[in-house]
Structure 1
Amino acid sequence: MSAKTAIICNSNNPDLAMYFSKKVKCFRDEAYFLANKEIANNLNIGCSSVSKVSGLSFGLIIDSFLAFIVVFKLLFNRVNTVVFDTAHISNLPLAVLCKICGIKLVFTIHDWNPHEGKQQKNVLLYNKFVDKVLANAYITFSKVNTDTKVYQLRLSGFEKQSPAQPDGYYLFFGRIEPYKGLRHLVSIAKAMHEKGLPEKIIVAGRGEDNSIDELEALPNVEVINRFISDQELDGLLKGAIATLLPYDSATQSGVILHSYSYSKPVVAFDVGALHEYINDGVSGILVEHGNTSLFTEKMHYINENYDFFMSGVESEFKEFDDNALERQYKALLESLKR
């Protein structure tokens, strides 16, 4: 029996679990899969974690003991490389034991430079410990500067949805975080109102931000500050003209690809690695950071040329669909065998 690669997902984040499940479906015979208990039960694979949160908890203590059993299973199955598919604190005790046993460790890092917010310090500590002590290689989804081996992939694994005509609004969706620039939407919405543009902005997602009260007071903004179900988001995306990303910082964003899957273009500030996912003038428009006046103009431009941008998104989507995910991870697994 030849050596294998194991892919482990200790996170129970719904989006990350969705990507992981697709890898299991495609490569169940080529890799050894383990996951958080909930995901493992759903996919009929081995369990590597019982933690319900990525933080200090009783679940982490259990996971630290569970790590010994998991390492035994890895060695029994002749695993010589472990890919941690998500960032999670329960990766650490298992990774330390794998390191001691000579198993190569590949860490998936979505946020190389952590965003401003409650988890910023924790993510930074995790990244530093992994970098200095554990990692033999990384999987990233944007360019990073490091001397360690990097497998740079693109976010992918989205299913194409049936396109629908817009219903007079722009959409901002996803968890509300300080780095996502809601304060810019205040200026943008006011500029729209001053120009007499009839469209509105819908902000859909749970979180805290100092600009929420001001946004709620504007006549052309609707704020839905709560958890948004997949079914509700489906309806919101179908009716949107475009998705707005007035972010102050970013690495990459699943919001972009989720929008593409509905044939919806995006308008975004040109920050971080967003330019690697937006073909400017084709699948959306990039705007100089902070230039809310130009941002508003480009929103209107997309609305006036909606069919053109919808076609542009559809031509780009093949780079981010299920087939793209399968191609990338097939090549990755081949590379890890060498």
Structure 2
Amino acid sequence: MFETLSKEFEVKIFNYKLLYPSFLFPGKTQFDISGEVKKIPSERIVNSLHPFNWIRVASRINYEKPDLIIFDWWHPYFALCHFFISLFINKKLKKRSLFITENYISHEGHFIDRWLTRIGLHHANYFIALSKKVEDELKQNFKHKKIYRSELPIYEHLTGNAEDITSLKQKFSIAPNEKVLLFFGYIRKYKGLDILLEALNLLSSESDKIKLIIAGEFYDDKDFYIELIHKYELQNIVIMQNEYIPNEQVKDYFIVSDVVVLPYRSATQSGILNLAYGFRKPVIVTKVGGLSEFVNNESTGLIVEQPKAELIADAIKKFFEIENKIDFRKNIAEFVKSNRFNNLNEIINKVLEDSNAS
């Protein structure tokens, strides 16, 4: 986003110096440990927990006198932080507040989340929704606000220089003739890894020719998934990497894989899907939330009607039957040309026009 906006605008990023308190964060670290992160200039000045900090941040925004303030919203935990920062900015700037809404309600939200979300987004004048599902939720709950549509970008900056497939398969102890499924990203219940493991069990004889790579840190009870692997006797099929995958290693997991599986129980959109498309890898996704909006069935991937193990198993089987009949790579390359993120600067200019006219 910074690189795209900087082509046309002067951009300043106010980052978090405290994102989540450690007792609320299920992972090992909240910091990116990658050695090849693009260096985007930002100031770590926002403390998500400290009310006096919110006043100071708002004062700093007032001092900068921006033409537009963009808040990134993804979780109701930030409701009070966003509410008070947007409350304390001056009256003129209140009319220039845009919230990019990745999720409306978090994937595993509780009853209080809807209330917190309305508080956190209370001072928004404009919204950018990143999926039709979120757009519809915003229209229902903020009927008098202007809502624009965009998408997550296609992540092509991690492709790097890859080893050849044979070397990568040796690295992962995968036989040359074995097919590879990839489940990538942190593991939580809504992502349906347990459904995928059950699907592998249902594939029976076909599973002998398949390997599943699970690459990501467990935010759920790891033992639950280990027990499933043993229950279904999948120890020789599953390759598990229980850690955050740094940027410089991401390419190995995607390049060695034939298809990326997203057996989600719920979703708005997915950075994993856009990462797969960056590598021109097809996907198998469930038809939940806004996830299937970004897949052309039997063209850029396969869409499964419900997050059920038997349907996921059928889709995996079907994919390997048709993978040589459909040019998934070419279709994905064509599909990503229409990615709405490419129009971000056009949207921002439109928001500026509307805010100046109001």
Q: Which of 172, 175, 182 does residue 186 from structure 2 map onto?
A: 175
Contact 1:171/1:202 (<8 A) preserved: yes
1:337 corresponds to which residue?
353
Q: Which of 214, 218, 223 does residue 240 from structure 2 map onto?
A: 223
How far residue 25 of structure 1 moved from its aligned partner, in angstroms, is: 3.3
Instruction: Report the RMSD for the aligned CA atoms in angstroms.
Output: 3.0
**Partner SS for 2:103:** coil
Normalization by structure 2: what TM-score? 0.74
1:49 corresponds to which residue?
45
1:33 corresponds to which residue?
12
Distance 1:116 1:259 in 2: 24
Distance 2:337 2:185 in 1: 23
Contact 2:195/2:309 (<8 A) preserved: yes
Q: Which of 37, 51, 69 does residue 60 from structure 2 map onto?
A: 69
**Partner SS for 1:316:** helix
Q: Given the alignment of the two structures, is residue 135 of structure 1 paired with residue 124 of structure 2, yes or no?
A: yes
Q: Which of 194, 213, 230 does residue 226 from structure 2 map onto?
A: 213
Q: Which amino acid aligns with 1:70?
A: I
How far residue 126 of structure 1 moved from its aligned partner, in angstroms, is: 4.0
1:9 corresponds to which residue?
none
Segments of structure 1 that go 5 or more residues without pairing to the other structure are: 1-19
Structure 1 residues 205 and 121: alpha-carbon distance in aligned structure 2, compared to 1, 3 A threshold: farther
Contact 1:136/1:149 (<8 A) preserved: yes
Q: Give the stretch that moved more between structures: 254-263 or 311-320.
A: 311-320
1:10 corresponds to which residue?
none
Distance 1:234 1:184 in 2: 25
Q: Which amino acid aligns with 2:127?
A: Y
Structure 1 residues 329 and 272: alpha-carbon distance in aligned structure 2, compared to 1, 3 A threshold: same
Segments of structure 2 that go 5 or more residues without pairing to the other structure are: 18-31, 33-38, 170-178
How far residue 203 of structure 1 moved from its aligned partner, in angstroms, is: 1.1
Structure 1 residues 314 and 157: alpha-carbon distance in aligned structure 2, compared to 1, 3 A threshold: closer
Contact 1:26/1:326 (<8 A) preserved: no
Contact 1:82/1:106 (<8 A) preserved: yes
Q: Given the alignment of the two structures, is residue 203 of structure 1 paired with residue 214 of structure 2, yes or no?
A: yes
**Partner SS for 2:259:** strand
How far residue 43 of structure 1 moved from its aligned partner, in angstroms, is: 3.9
2:203 corresponds to which residue?
192
1:328 corresponds to which residue?
344
Normalization by structure 1: what TM-score? 0.78
Contact 2:150/2:343 (<8 A) preserved: no
Contact 2:264/2:307 (<8 A) preserved: no
Q: Give the stretch that moved more between structures: 294-303 or 177-186.
A: 294-303
Q: Which of 95, 98, 103 does residue 86 from structure 2 map onto?
A: 95
Contact 1:71/1:94 (<8 A) preserved: no
Structure 1 residues 280 and 66: alpha-carbon distance in aligned structure 2, compared to 1, 3 A threshold: same
Q: Deviations over 1:227-250 (max 9, x none)?
A: 111222210000111111111000
Distance 2:87 2:59 in 1: 10
Q: Given the alignment of the two structures, is residue 293 of structure 1 paired with residue 338 of structure 2, yes or no?
A: no
Structure 1 residues 269 and 43: alpha-carbon distance in aligned structure 2, compared to 1, 3 A threshold: closer
Structure 1 residues 110 and 216: alpha-carbon distance in aligned structure 2, compared to 1, 3 A threshold: same
Structure 1 residues 230 and 44: alpha-carbon distance in aligned structure 2, compared to 1, 3 A threshold: closer
Q: Given the alignment of the two structures, is residue 154 of structure 1 paired with residue 159 of structure 2, yes or no?
A: no
